[in-house]
Amino acid sequence: MQVIETRDAPTAAGHYSQAIVHNGVVYVAGQLPIDPKDKNRPVGSIEEQTERTLRNVEAILVAAGSGLDRVLQMTIFISDIELWGGVNTAYARVMGSHKPARAVVPVNDLHYGYQIEIQAIAATG
């Protein structure tokens, strides 16, 4: 197993890694829309939060030798199912024609007032 850490995504805030690579697959821990270069943690619209979160996932994937085009599956946690339209619009814009398997899970409040968290599984190489 290989632990992945990059400064281009938020550092792990607990006892976990940003990602782990094992047997050609990278497992990305749940990411929030935290801009690693902005300590103020602005929230923004759900579209902005979705794009920022996907960019964090992307940075970790790149550090692992992968990319958004290699994602096999994503799980998206949102604090209100009514946000789904905005999430899906931003998600489609960032992901382009690539359509990995996906699940959307409505949850209660997320850290720091954010409304979305995304975890991913992708192929490496």
Beta strands of the chain (E only): which ranges?
Answer: 2-4, 19-22, 25-31, 71-78, 101-106, 116-123
28 touches 61 (CB < 8 A): yes
Task: Supply the pLDDT for residue 111.
Answer: 87
- Cβ neighbours for 38, distance < 8 A, ≥ 6 positions apart: none
CA proximity to 46, closest of 76, 74, 102, 84: 84
Task: Supply the pLDDT for residue 125.
Answer: 82
Mind listing the pLDDT tens digit for each residue in 9-66? Answer: 999 988 999 999 999 999 999 999 999 988 777 778 999 999 999 999 999 999 999 9
12 Cα distance to chain centroid: 13
CATH number given to 2-123: 3.30.1330.40
Task: Supply the pLDDT for residue 3.
Answer: 96
Per the structure block, which two tokens stand in for 49?
């939060």
Q: Measured between alpha carbons, how far is 21 from 4 in angstroms, rounded to an integer? A: 7
Mind listing the pLDDT tens digit for each residue in 59-118? Answer: 999 999 999 999 999 999 999 999 999 999 999 999 999 999 999 999 998 988 899 999
Q: Considering the entire predicted model, what is its pTM?
A: 0.94
Domain boundary assignment for the chain: 2-123
